[in-house]
Chains A and B, each alone.
Chain A
């Protein structure tokens, strides 16, 4: 048994108690250090943002290649006009190389039939997948974060049918583990042109409201990313076409709606630059978008290009019931100011083809 000693307070203390206190101190200190280290790791983790490393940049085949191709067909030729639109841009091989991991993001998130026009037409999606296969894609993933039950949505909207017999897989990334953290503000210009040499300072909404964002690993690791939206009215965003479609590829949507939808869409499009955009205007959902059901018109058109601002601005003309013009779509206006694309179609080389077959 250890001898009792007297400590400075005059109280008798047992050496075994002192040892216990030391042990306790070491435990507390060690625990604190461990917790501190873990906390530090969370910061480290937070700062470990990723970028799409392999993603092929959107590039026009040549200076004379149209900025926008718009091909008109009929319900029997939706696949053919999809191919024709891409061919007019130089062919799928300009965008997809042998061995590429390709990600396509069509609209397929709602339990709505093709006639209800809330999803990309199955014939358009199918041809796009087939073209990617033909170009030698090693992997094709079709991604959309579904809002309805994904099994039902994929079945009812025709996406299952569209990829049947192909190597493409459908994915609704509903787990955060399927995503990587990204730093959207890093890709957003710090100044907006305002006629002065320096321009007007721009503080990204993502930065101002501290919006964390994550993008699916499939996209971050892809070689080619193709946006394949359908033309729709949108109650909150005015329209949802190529630019808004990227919101089907992010984890945190709520903050966008809460803090500034248009700003966030424009900034997101500065971060992710699709290799190719194939817009489905075979049908257009005119009212009660994005889910509908609403009034549907049938322009019978498919468009292709690489500038989301230009394509979406051009497609406003298909939203005839509300008579939407690009100047009332604030994400188009802002993206144009941020240099992401051209809102003024009169400045572009547009090729319109009617009555086409593949």
Chain B
């Protein structure tokens, strides 16, 4: 009887066991993931040694990340943050002149790329490491699979550390597993964006709390800072709701530039609006199915329209 109860999918014991198994699997996956990041950190690299302490390397979870990076933690958590493994390296394995390494593990490669791309400048000097990385005088960052790896030199004289950064990055990248393909969502952007300006953003696109989960890119053909966004919603109704809010925001007198007035644009998506704003130059926004598409900081509506039209066509 007990056996029957256990194997019956509708019974309480079955469901309890299933829940327990799922929790154990999740916990196991978490441990495995953290172990992956920890295992990717070599004890030595070039002339650097990991600084060992009873807690090294340190592991931070969503509840403790604030203790490590203070307020930035909220931004990281937007991208499906799971854990951060932190280690320090120095030539002697001691001291305060350091090369620090943070391995952030996110829920998905899309999230890892998202936070990586959000922190990447479109002037970045790209290097082939992991899926993609870049180097700066005192930093070396890359992403691969669900991992975003950040390395930084914390030393008054960064010189001796600089040649060591690429070596350590390559060693870590070799051990981390995961996809090196650009997330499929990035294909929503129509051609013409400035290289390295393409980003996946989880929240607050265009400074609006209701425009989330979208891709952005700069389109110099519409202006030096002109930026296109395409936000994806769960349904056309949800997209329409967000579009209505944005329409209201753009139509408010406080948003418009002196003497400008919001005007509907015909023949663009299901509904569209254009406005010269006080702060964000020319803005064009359109609703198309489950997408809210917009361009900000364009020099003129004429410059913005071809790109927004291309995005509407592309998003279908």
Contacts and interface: CB of A to CB of B under 8 A. Distances in A.
A321 interface: yes
B140 to A, nearest CB: 10
Contacts of B277: 327
B149 to A, nearest CB: 13
Main SS at interface, chain A: loop
Contact of B153 (A237, A293, A323, A325): A293
B138 A293 contact: yes
Contact of A293 (B66, B96, B136, B255): B136
A116 B75 CA distance: 21
Nearest to A233: B119
Interface string A105-134: 000000111011000000000000000000
B74 A236 contact: yes
Given A156-B156, A327-B277, A328-B206, A116 B138 contact: yes
Interface string A270-307: 00000000000000001110111111000000000000
A344 interface: yes
Nearest to A109: B70
Contacts of B225: 320, 323
A328 B279 CA distance: 9
A261 B279 contact: no
Contact of B120 (A254, A287, A327): A287
Interface size class of chain B, counting residues whose CB lies under 8 Å from the partner chain: 35 or more
A147 B225 CA distance: 33
Contacts of B72: 235-236, 290-291
Nearest to A323: B225
B121 A286 contact: yes
B207 interface: yes
A236 B75 contact: yes
Contacts of B66: 254, 257
Given A287-B119, A292-B139, A323-B225, A113 B75 contact: no
Contact of A325 (B69, B139, B279): B279
A313 B153 CA distance: 31
B106 to A, nearest CB: 15
Interface string A13-32: 00000000000000000000
Interface of B: 66, 69-76, 96, 118-124, 136-139, 152-154, 156, 158, 204, 206-207, 218, 225, 227, 255, 258, 277-280, 296-297
Interface of A: 111-113, 115-116, 147, 152, 155-156, 234-238, 247, 253-254, 256-258, 261, 286-288, 290-295, 320-321, 323, 325-330, 333, 344, 346
21 contacts: A113-B156, A155-B156, A235-B76, A235-B118, A236-B74, A256-B71, A257-B66, A257-B73, A257-B74, A261-B71, A287-B119, A287-B120, A290-B71, A292-B152, A294-B136, A295-B136, A320-B225, A328-B204, A329-B207, A344-B278, A346-B278
